[in-house]
Structure 1
Amino acid sequence: MEFKQLVPSLLLTSAIVVLVTTPTKSEEVSSIRVHKSPASTDSGSSTQQARLVTKAQHVKPITEIRRLSEIEHPSKNAQMLLVQSPAQETAPSSEVVQVTGVKANPTKTGVEVILQTSKGQALQLVNRSTGNSFITDIPNAQLRLPSGDAFTFRSDKPIAGVTQITVTNFDAKTIRVTVIGEMSVPQVELFDSPNEGLIFSVASTAPSAQQGQQPQTQQPQAQQPETQTQPTQPSASGDEPIELVVTGQQDGYNPSVSTTGTKTDTPQRDIPQSIQVVPQQVLEDQQVRNLGEALRNVPGLARGANSASRGQFATPKIRGFDANDNIFRDGLRDPTTGYVVPDVAGIERIEVLKGPGSVLYGQGSLGGVINLVTKKPLSDPYYSVEASVGSFNFYRGAFDFSGPLNDSKTLLYRLNFAAQTTESFLDFYDEQKYFVAPVLSWQISDRTQLTFQAEYVNRPKDYGQQGIPAVGSVLPNRNGKVPRDRNTAEPDSTDDQRSFRVGYDLEHRFSDHWQFRNAFSASWLRRDRNYVFSTALAAADNLTLSRIYQLGGDDQRFFNLDTYIVGKFATGSIQHQLVTGFNLTRSESDLKITTGRAASLDVFNPVYGKQLGAVTSRGDNTSSTDTLGIYVQDQVTLASNLKLLLGLRFDTLNQTNEDRLNNTKQAQSDDAFSPRVGLVYQPIEPISLYANYSRSFTPNTGTAFNGSSFQPERGTSYEVGIKGDISNTLSATLAFYDLTRSNVLTEDPVNEGFSIQTGEQRSKGVELSIAGEILPGWNVIAGYAYTDTEITKDNTYAVGNLLNNVPKHSFNLWTSYEIQSGRFKGLGFGTGVFYVGERQGDLNNTFTLPSYFLTEVAIFYKQDRFRASVNFKNLFDVDYFESALNQVNVYYGDPFTVQGTISWQF
């Protein structure tokens, strides 16, 4: 069946699946379901209501917690016990219950931890004991603050005999409660209060507690005052409440779940591939302004031929290879994002998948995938406004509004808006940016949800991408050093960009184990060019820059439809999580450009405004690419500590390129298989050893001398690594990889002006990343990367040359601390160091960009819903180079800058 015939059939199949599906009854759950007791008229402590006592070292299944009227008061030694069963035996409810807060109150015998929710009766519990730890998993719930953000509760040494109590999001649909005893498994009582929520009552094992004395507890303060829940009122015993520990929005610095690696809510430790996440709290603490600043926190990421603050494109490199076309939005590939990246106001977090992602996402870079997870609607009203001011006339304002549109909260909205204007250390540079992103979510039923998204970005700006020559910056020039602020374009050079994106995401659950997703996005990008740029520096005087101009513009359109099913099933004792579906994309491009000679420029004594020269060429081209991908992936749980990942994808694509001036047209077709195999072994629960093999492909356009079409560029990846949980809030990943890029186009040595596919490049290296909370209030995100790249086959460049703009050594560290108690509670400090080693400026390796070391400092203060911060970037005003395009375009980095920001939530 041809491509055009196959597309309508697949679309029709997708529509029928949605229309004929009807909800099915939830499967019977063998774990405990908690039922609310009737409201008590007693005004005393909640511990006076009905309770269920459990000791984790005993095992006796109980089908449910009975109502108050049904409970016979037991004798002193009689105990009802929670079920102890493997998590995989629990069939979670289709509804994920939100726990909106956690409170801790001391009692005469210990402490009670309250999970605040109005749906305690819908919770399911599975408990077990490991060593001295009592652990309860709630597999149909999530910790969510009223703002919609995730958080983690922790109390160290709250009572005698207990070293720590934590309540955290174990994965996207499971809360884990852990109580660690000093010498033995603690005694825990559980009951459901109609006014409070689900309550865990932990008894002290110290004699003083049994005698009614006040237990010794630490009282850590909140890290995020604007999201802190209110402490409970004193109980009948007169004890003061213990304050809540919140480690930060989106699980602080260490989110435990990423959807980018598997398209499922899988804990990162179960994915046999390196994944790093830059969460919301890091973006806020660093006051990130663009994608380049955010990606400094990911080891193995380098900046391509561009400037982070004034760049025309994003141009990141992952493990040495360009990833500009591998920037995704909510799991959907969108090449226009590399030109106009969404404003940080609309980004919740950034997930970076290292290595090929072709099995799930199709064509793309061998280095990896950058997925921008955008902000979604919240179920409770949330309003935030923010204003910033900084160096070089930087001004910015933003707001974030969200909440329900009806009483039943089935219609939710979110609206993000940002506007900013800035100049630069670069001469006559000026930029504005306007961003708006509305989102509407409709909970059609308890099993079906539909989300609509739109986004508009308008970025009128001067052409500031232009660099300066290597001779006079990186290399010596007998005339001296070219000033850092020199702009070699013209004062009236512009490069205006506008983009519009719209899409939907439909999710439907057939049952508790099978889910359907259909997502679509459409993007339109318009660029208007009117600029001058350099092409060569005269060797005779090292003063005169030859320049050309370009006038015109281009339009790009991209459409992406992704439809797949996620299902869980078992074959005997082996558990499976299947993902299978198809992906349709279409890209269109129209380019109309006029190129001509511009007046040369004295780089040391420039004279601007000279008349443009004669036209040398015109272009009027259009191109389109249609792609169909069919994929299947199986996450196989062979044992509780042994997991296998298998994946395979087939892609077929048709490309058409038309030159309307010369009336020529070229078409070609390609297809490719992309496999993926990975294995995870966990010798102990906190440690995961993994290995994977995968392949990628990227289409090549054009033909060889004999008229044959070029085959797709292929990539092969081998990776092994270790993922470890240093603590409940601190994790690390160590990865070793070997990547080979083949079928690279290189110069035909026989037929001048043509290419052949004999090029090959290799990258191998080591990456270490650490992220999370070290102590209450003290967070860190850090990494080191050793990246060894080289050209292994080529007819143009020497074999053994290093890939350009890729440092062999790089290091990043950012840490922040917020005072947790006392007079200065809410005051915080952050500091970061970023080291980038030497890099080659071009593939010919004719010059080297020197290494640099940047220091940043932040001071912030948070009180209730107010936050103020001042960030000092490039604190010591280091003179450094971010990247290079060629010998005449080397890009300086920003000097010392200051940025102040205030925000208010209401």
Structure 2
Amino acid sequence: MILRLFMRAGSGAGALPLAVALSCAPAFAQADEVGPAESERAEITITGVRQPYRGNFKLREIPQAIATIDETVIAQNGILRLTDALDLNASVVRQNTLGGLWDSFAVRGFAGDENLPSGYLVNGFNAGRGFSGQRDVAGIERVEVLKGPAAAVLGRGEPGGSINLVTKQAELGRTFGTASLQHRSFDTLRAEGDANLSLTDTLSVRLIGYAERGDTFRDTVRQKRWGFLPSVGLKLGAATRLTYDFELTRVAVPFDRGIVVLNDDFDTVPRSRFLGEPGDGDTVARATGHQLRLQHDFNTRWSVSVGASHRDTRLTGSSSDAETVRSRQKLYVDGRSLSRQRRSRRYTSEHSVLRAEVAGEFNTGTLRHRVLMGGDFDHFDTDQLFTRYRGPVVTPATTDQAGYVLDLQNPVYGRFPPPATAPITNRLDVQRTMGAYVQDQISLTDRLQVRIGGRYDDFLLRVDNRLTDVLGRRKRSRFSPQAGIVYELGKPFSLYAAYGEGYRANIGADAAGNVFEPETSRSIEAGVKLTALGGRLTGTLAAYQLEKSNVLATDTLNPGFAVAIGKARSRGIEADLNGRLPGGIELLLSYAYTDAEARSRVLDPSFSFQIEPGDPLINIPRHNLNVQAAKRLRVAARDALIGAGVQHVGARNGETGSDFALPSHTLVRVFGQADIVDGVQLFGSVTNLFNEHWYANSYSPVWVQPGAPRTATVGLRASF
């Protein structure tokens, strides 16, 4: 597979290097603030190898807001999915997840194309745009939320920021492992294992796998998931390291659009009621991926990193979804008869990336320069075959069978045979992107540093519409600059400010076949950083404003398609605090105020919606808060931990171009763990402790995703 990647490099496209964003992974940055012994121990414990694209920076030197969610916090909270882990940072909010079949989120108010999975990075490689199902946290060392201008310029992602997943990699010279078994509410069982095996002084293998199956709180909905995520580390010399990571995952779960809300009544149906057809069976998402990374240190000042990745994904299945067009929906006539569509999907993607970067430092007189220079080449194909049956406009003569109706008050599944579907989308999108970037951070004095740099992108997008025999093509290029400044006031505070421009290709075409122009953005932010208690307590307070052009929004008349809505703006204030306080208290606090709105007037040609300047963007709350505290203690001469957390999400818009809104919610969770014998730990958690009714996201009033009720987990974890 890797050989195939190199053979087709001539036709490849747009990578997503982290550059400076990854140049300061916070877990390492905090280690830089403490003594040498703790710093060395942290580096061995975390990955066993320096992360590529890191550079030589401490956290307080970076003109950017960066937050980290590490595996310890993830495990304490009993989190299994990336979406739930991202809830711990208030700058990231949930978006529509294609019936629970992909990851979708917005950072600082901007989500990208709502009809594709949100892009995220894995060890700096773009890996989130395919159809692989919701990402499991197994194999994740930490989640980095890289906010602001630098992420947009050097990550080619959304201007609000990029999400980077740092995976658990093979560590040289150590043999260790863990295995766990847990039982969760709704009869869900999960087994997970992680074993790092030192085969020789220069070769190690890390084997990570998980398997999960069980019911959910949704009637008739069961889920099955498994994954195998091994890593191989090879030392080629004292200064050279080769790492290979493999990914094989499978998710099988019924496609589920959630509940309906009639006339703003969120009790129209119970949150457990499934409105599809159990006979449709599972929608299955598969992924197979490879990463190969080579790192070489020339000396203590200069290093080079090169890498390649290839990932194939596939999503197939059928579903019965509520009809979204009002004139075709019988629910608005009698208040109980839900007209539905019958749909089938076969989505595939193929994604290949090559990249290289040189990092180093030098002096010119009294000025210290720390530079990053790199380039990347990215090729992304997505092939979508989507078929649909849609009932007629509702009249007194329209039969329930023609509308594929489900009675909300007395649902009888399988009442009608599934109607035949016809192709609506049969399209191949090919994106090829090449990029190069350079960055120089200059220390003018012991306290003052400036950063300058930029990125040049050249991309080609082809859209082959097989239904209309229309081949769309768009080729564009652009240089995006960035600049930043950092001033250290003196311990424990430093000030920073940054400006950046971004450039991102919009994949695909609208319902009429028009290929979208790329998104462009401008971002500014300023803030203050805290580093205290010897690096054990870090925090950031930031204010920002982001502006985007050529923004896409969901076409409510043609689900699965997007429309261009012109310009959008997001501005806000954020506060993040993370650390270990005296007395064994671990604290995590994240708050975000986000004002995200459209800045253009748009009237859909089919009059399905109208957007006015000032209209809020979908699924973006103004206020978002997560806070938790944990206390380490000794019980019967054994280590233990107890903790609790609160998440508050404010009200937010639930449908593009309308005033439908999701209510605010506040969720409480508790968790704990205790060593029961040497090497064996008992752990547990309860989420949504007070069983609040809440709603994770919404596409329209007939596609609203309810959140899970009170959910308890208990398990055993053994280590060696």
TM-score by shorter chain over 0.5: yes
Name the SS of the counterpart of 1:804 in structure 2.
coil
Q: Distance in 2 between matches of 1:885 and 1:7?
A: 38
Q: 437-446 vs 615-624, which deviates more?
A: 615-624
**How far off is 1:544 after superposition?**
2.1
Residue of 465, 468, 484 corresponding to 2:271: 484
Match of 1:403 among 197, 205, 213: 197
Mapped pair 1:803 → 2:609: no
> Which residue does 1:373 correspond to in 2?
166
Equivalent residue letter for 1:280: E
1:560-599 to structure 2, matched below 5 A, reads: 560-597=353-390, 599=404
Q: Deviations over 1:267-288 (max 9, x none)?
A: 2211111100001210111111
Is 1:733 matched up with 2:594? no
Provide the residue aligned with 1:175 in structure 2.
36
- 1:282 alignment partner, one of 69, 73, 85: 73
- Contact 1:436 1:455 (C-alpha < 8 Å) held by counterparts: yes
Q: What is the aligned partner in structure 1 of residue 246 from structure 2? A: 454
Letter in 2 for 1:325: S
Look up the SS of the partner of 1:522 in the other structure: strand
Is the 1:247–1:773 contact (alpha carbons within 8 Å) kept by the matching residues of 2? no
Q: Are 2:685 and 1:884 aligned?
A: no
Residues 583-640 of structure 1 show CA distances to partners (whole Å, capped at 9, x for unaligned) of: 1000112222321136122222222211122434344322211100011111222222
Cα distance in 2 for partners of 1:488, 1:845 equals 23
In the alignment of these two chains, the number of paired residues is 663
Q: Which amino acid aligns with 2:299?
A: S
From 688, 710, 713, give the equivalent of 1:896.
Answer: 710
User: In the TM superposition, what is the alpha-carbon distance from 1:339 to its structure 2 partner?
Assistant: 4.3
Q: What is residue 866 of structure 1 aligned with on the other side?
A: 680
Residues 1:703 and 1:819: Cα distance change in structure 2 (over 3 Å): closer
Structure 1 residue 891: deviation in Å? 1.1
User: Sequence identity of aligned pairs in percent?
Assistant: 28
Kindly provide the amino acid, as one letter, of the partner of residue 629 in structure 1: G
SS of the residue 1:425 aligns to? coil
Paired letter, 1:414: R
Q: Could you tell me how far 1:683 is from its partner in structure 2?
A: 1.2
Q: Which residue of 2 aligns with 1:84?
A: none
Q: Secondary structure at the match of 1:622?
A: strand
In the alignment, does 2:335 pair up with 1:542?
yes
Tell me whether 696-705 or 348-357 shows the greater mean CA deviation: 696-705
Please name the residue that 2:397 is paired with: none
Q: Which residue of 1 aligns with 2:16?
A: none
| Cα displacement string for residues 327-350 of structure 1 (whole angstroms, at most 9, x for unaligned residues) | 100011123467434421210000
Say which of 574, 579, 585 aligns to 1:767: 574
The letter of the residue matching 1:510 is F
How far residue 551 of structure 1 moved from its aligned partner, in angstroms, is 2.2
**1: CA distance, partners of 2:156 / 2:589:** 30
Report the Cα distance in structure 1 between the residues aligned to 2:77 and 2:125, rounded to whole angstroms: 27
Alpha-carbon displacement from aligned partner over 1:808-834 (angstroms, at most 9, x marks no partner):
1111111111114x7354122110111
Query: Deviations along 1:171-225, whole A, 9 cap, x unmatched?
Result: 69x72789xxxxxxxxxxxxxxxxxxx9xxxxxxxxxxxxxxxxxxxxxxxxxxx
**Partner residue in 2 for 1:237:** none
Matching residue of 1:690:
496
Structure 2 segments unaligned to the other structure (5+ residues): 1-5, 14-26, 391-402, 556-560, 604-610
Corresponding letter in the other structure for 2:612: A
Distance 1:486 1:498, change over 3 A: same
Cα distance in 2, alignment partners of residues 574 and 492 from structure 1: 69
Amino acid at match of 1:730: L
2:149–2:498 CA contact under 8 A, matched in 1: no
The aligned residue for residue 421 of structure 1 is 213
SS for the counterpart of 1:793 is coil
Unaligned stretches of 5+ residues in structure 1: 12-149, 153-167, 179-197, 199-226, 228-245, 252-256, 749-753
Q: Quick one: higher RCO (CA 8 Å, sep 6+), 1 or 2?
A: 2
Deviations 1:623-671 (A, max 9, x none): 2111000111112222221121212111001111112343332222011
Secondary structure (helix, strand or coil) at the match of 2:574 reads strand
Structure 2 CA distance for partners of 1:860 and 1:520, relative to 1, 3 Å: same
**Aligned counterpart, 1:844:** 657
Q: Following the alignment from structure 1 to structure 2, what is the Cα–Cα distance between the partners of residues 873 and 787?
A: 25
2:76 and 2:672 in contact (8 A); partners too: no
Change in CA separation of 1:288 and 1:745 when aligned onto 2, cut-off 3 Å: closer
SS in 2 for 1:539: helix
Q: Corresponding residue for 1:300?
A: 91
Partner of 2:18: none
Q: CA deviation at 1:685?
A: 2.9
Equivalent in the alignment of 1:794: 601
User: Does residue 329 in structure 1 map to residue 128 in structure 2?
Assistant: no
How far has the Cα of 1:547 moved from its partner? 1.3
Cα offsets for 1:217-261 (capped at 9, x unmatched): xxxxxxxxxx9xxxxxxxxxxxxxxxxxx999759xxxxx9969x
State the shift of 1:747 in Å: 12
Q: Which amino acid aligns with 2:408?
A: V
CA contact (8 A) 2:152 2:503 kept: no
1:8, CA displacement in angstroms?
Answer: 5.9
Aligned-partner Cα distance in 2 for 1:870–1:686: 36
SS at match of 1:417: strand
Q: How does 1:255-294 map to 2 (within 5 A)?
A: 263-294=54-85
Matched, 1:522 2:310: yes
1:473-872 map, 5 Å? 475-476=264-265, 481-493=268-280, 494-536=282-324, 537=329, 538-597=331-390, 599-609=404-414, 610-700=416-506, 710-728=516-534, 729-744=536-551, 759-796=566-603, 797-820=611-634, 823-862=636-675, 864-872=678-686
The 10-residue stretch of structure 1 (708-717 or 286-295) with the greater mean CA deviation from structure 2: 708-717
Is this contact kept in 1: 2:184–2:713, CA < 8 A? yes
Distance (whole Å) between structure 2 residues aligned to residue 471 and residue 370 of structure 1: 36
- Label 1:325 to 1:293 Cα distance change in 2 as closer, same or farther (>3 A): closer
Deviation at 1:564, TM superposition (A): 1.2
Cα separation, partners in 2 of 1:570 and 1:419, compared to 1, 3 Å: same
**Contact 2:55/2:360 (CA < 8 Å) preserved in 1?**
no
Root mean square deviation of aligned Cα? 3.3
Counterpart of 1:579, as a letter, is: L
Which segment drifts farther, 696-705 or 330-339?
696-705
SS of residue paired to 2:230: strand
Could you tell me how far apart the structure 1 residues matched to 2:512 and 2:319 are?
A: 38
Aligned to 2:396: none
Separation (CA, whole Å) in 2 of partners of 1:535 and 1:258: 51
Query: How far does the alpha carbon of each residue in 1:104-133 deviate from its partner, in whole angstroms, 9 at most, with x for none?
Result: xxxxxxxxxxxxxxxxxxxxxxxxxxxxxx
Please report how far the alpha carbon of residue 459 of structure 1 lies from its aligned counterpart in structure 2 after TM superposition.
0.9
The match for 1:349 is 142
Which residue of structure 1 lines up, in the alignment, with residue 399 of structure 2? Answer: none
Amino acid at match of 1:443: K
1:387 Cα shift?
0.6
Residues 1:903 and 1:657: Cα distance change in structure 2 (over 3 Å): same
- Structure-2 change in CA distance of 1:868 and 1:571 (3 Å): same
Shift of residue 708, structure 1, vs aligned partner: 9.0
Kindly provide the amino acid, as one letter, of the partner of residue 286 in structure 1.
N
1:727-762 CA deviation, whole Å, 9 max, x = no partner? 2211111010111111335899xxxxx999671111
- Tell me the distance in 2 between the aligned counterparts of 1:403 and 1:816: 32
Query: Would the aligned equivalents of 2:652 and 2:663 in 1 still touch at CA under 8 Å?
Result: yes
Residue identity in the other structure for 2:206: R
Deviates more, 1:542-551 or 1:394-403: 542-551
How much does 1:726 deviate? 3.3
Change (3 A) 1:305 1:745: closer
- For 1:381 and 1:247, the matched residues in 2 are separated by 16
